[in-house]
Amino acid sequence: MKSNYKLLAVIALTTSLLVASCSINPKGDTAIVNEATQVDSSTGTEISIDTATSKIGFIGYGVGKEHPGYFKISSGNVTVNGGKIEGGNFVIDTKSLSLSQQETMFQTKLKGHLLSGDFFDAGKFPTAKFEITSVEPFIASETDSSVISGANFKVSGNLTLKEVTKNVSFPAKINVNGNAISAVANFNINRNVWSMKYGNDKSLKNAFISEKVNITFDIKSK
């Protein structure tokens, strides 16, 4: 009987570790992060982003938990030349942070915490920005694939959060049909790089918050 209890304990422990592991390893492409790159001017046609339908999603992870949400885009445009995106930028309204979990605890305590100085510090930094520095063809292979089905371009751009700017590169699926543009991406970044280090000490055990954050882009033109 004791051996059965031990077996059940091992199974329970293994299951809890697997759940915890899944919760702090978001499914997304690993973004390549480098120092900020100069943004070159483009001579193409400038097309406005549809701020009503475009958004930036995120998922924060901890031990056995995850918290999805999104930000609105306050303004932005893409530059198209010869049917291809050459540049563009958009401004993210950090104060627009919205959480998918509707329970009171998330909508008051967690949302307020994310907007505080421990994370986005939206009062001091009400906007974030992404500026495209290059768009290159992406061809999936055994060694270089993407979670985005049909990803056809690698996008690089300067991401500015809390006045910290780094260049991030990730696969994306981009469709350009005249002035109709859509772009989707799903990638992970390390929030420590942008001065958001709260709760990432693993000695906190169950209170540990992963330094990895999942980001999704869903961009459409007007």
Q: pLDDT digit string (tens) for 20-57?
A: 444 456 789 999 999 999 998 878 999 999 999 999 99
- The proportion of the chain whose per-residue pLDDT surpasses 90, expressed as a percent, equals 73
Residue 209 pLDDT: 85
Residue 198 pLDDT: 83
Angle at 186 between CA 49 and CA 97, to 5 degrees: 60
Contacts of 66 (CB under 8 A, 6+ apart): 23, 26, 59, 60
Q: What are phi and psi of 40, to 5 degrees?
A: -80, 150
- The proportion of the chain whose per-residue pLDDT surpasses 70, expressed as a percent, equals 85
User: Where does 2-220 sit in CATH, by number?
Assistant: 2.40.128.110
Residue 199 pLDDT: 75
